[in-house]
Amino acid sequence: MYDFNIIKTNKLSNKSYRVAKICDQFDLDKDSYNEEFIGNIETPKEWSIGVIVGKSGTGKTSIAKEMFNINKYKYSSSSVVDDFEKKVGMQMIFKTLSSVGFSSPPSWLKPYSVLSNGEKMRVDLARAICQDKGIIAFDEFTSVVDREVAQIGSLAVQKAIRKSGKKFVAISCHFDILEWLQPDWIFSTDVMSNLSRGSLQQRPEIKIDIKRIKGYWGMFKKYHYLNHELNNSAHQYVGFYKNKPICFCGVICMPHPKHGATWKIHRIVVLPDYQGVGIGVRMLDIIAEFYTGYFGIVTSLNGFAQSLMKNKKWSLTRMGKTSPNKGMKSMNKTLSSKRNTYSFRYNYKLLEKPIKTGEVNGDAK
């Protein structure tokens, strides 16, 4: 339980002509005005996520400052990864950015100022998770983003925080994020008391309509982590959420020395504002079910690979660094001998022998 008794005094020293005119017109003779916030926030013994919610001017920020250390960060580098504290290792940065749903390496190289509001929110959260703080408090949480993006972002935040083992307090004037955050406690400054968790509805479903359709790669290509080219023969699929295109998948047919003609993921992209909630992996499952025979994907993204490893529909077949493909020299320009990759097959029985690290032919672009 957190108790608070906050008195804010606003002094009217050296009254200007305009201030004096208002005081005279409305019979306001005081030289100062006090605001008082009294109450207590009840929390479970064990909790991960809490919310302080209420209308503007009801004391949310004042209470949060009294109870918690509100996170604020400065950004001055030409890329957001350089704004993380020096003691934070690169693997930790990669892992954390991916966990909060900011999984676009090209965007990691951008300065904070050019990111969207949704991306900024996720970078702030990633920096907070990487710091040695037990409680992360965010003021004006989701206040400057589209409400649909706010809800998806809240779900990504909820998943990341529960995995991190830290505590997160969202300070917001929006009630529409509660079902997506699924907080362990809610304090409303409108009534200065806790709200029952029983009032929370079950998190809404995210329904994606997938269509085989061309002409959408242009809006997705800049978010792909390797390059922006698309094979002309690729089968193109787009996922729509509430009639908005939010994810893209390209599939190509490639010869294989053992399996003959095989199907392989050529491109898969989820727009940044919709990352971190499992949309990419779910889209892979659905697309793979459209095809018969050998269907696979090779990726360099560790976070994405970790998600597939937990998915029983996919089997990890190889992992390691790429090597030149002797059978398809034309593809070698897209490979990198310095990049670790993970190769998966859909609906493939686990190998009898343990998976060995080694070199992989081919790569998902």
* pLDDT of amino acid 236: 97
> Which residues of the chain have a pLDDT value below 70?
1, 29-30, 32-33, 227, 259-260, 322-339, 348-365
Q: Please give the order of strands across the beta sheet that includes 167-172.
A: 135-138, 167-172, 49-53, 185-188, 193-195
Q: What is the reported pTM?
A: 0.79
Residues 44 and 174 grouped into a single domain: yes
* pLDDT of amino acid 324: 57
Domain end, chosen from 136, 168, 194, is at 194
* pLDDT of amino acid 364: 32
Q: What CA–CA distance (Å, rounded) separates 341 from 364?
A: 9
Query: How does DSSP classify residue 84?
Result: S
Residues 166 and 251 grouped into a single domain: no
* pLDDT of amino acid 111: 96
Domain end, chosen from 194, 226, 249, is at 194
The reply to whether 295 falls in a domain is yes
Q: Which amino acid is at 293?
A: G
* pLDDT of amino acid 338: 58
Tell me whether strands 357-360 and 314-322 are parallel, antiparallel or unpaired: parallel
Residues 215 and 173 grouped into a single domain: no
Residues 118 and 85 grouped into a single domain: yes
Spatial CA neighbour of 108 closest among 77, 130, 79: 79
Q: What CA–CA distance (Å, rounded) separates 51 from 186?
A: 5
Domain end, chosen from 165, 194, 223, is at 194
Residues 185 and 104 grouped into a single domain: yes
Give Cβ neighbours of residue 253 (< 8 Å, ≥ 6 apart): 233, 261, 262, 263, 264
The reply to whether 153 falls in a domain is yes
The reply to whether 81 falls in a domain is yes
Domain that holds residue 328: 209-360
The reply to whether 10 falls in a domain is no
The reply to whether 365 falls in a domain is no
- Indicate if the alpha-carbon torsion angle 118, 122, 127, 129 is positive or negative: positive
Residues 181 and 222 grouped into a single domain: no
Residues 227 and 280 grouped into a single domain: yes
Q: What CA–CA distance (Å, rounded) separates 281 from 139?
A: 31
CATH of residue 356's domain is 3.40.630.30
Give Cβ neighbours of residue 4 (< 8 Å, ≥ 6 apart): 37, 38, 39, 40, 41, 63, 66, 67
* pLDDT of amino acid 54: 94
CATH of residue 147's domain is 3.40.50.300
The reply to whether 5 falls in a domain is no
* pLDDT of amino acid 322: 62
- As for how many domains the chain has, the answer is 2
The reply to whether 25 falls in a domain is no
Residues 349 and 219 grouped into a single domain: yes
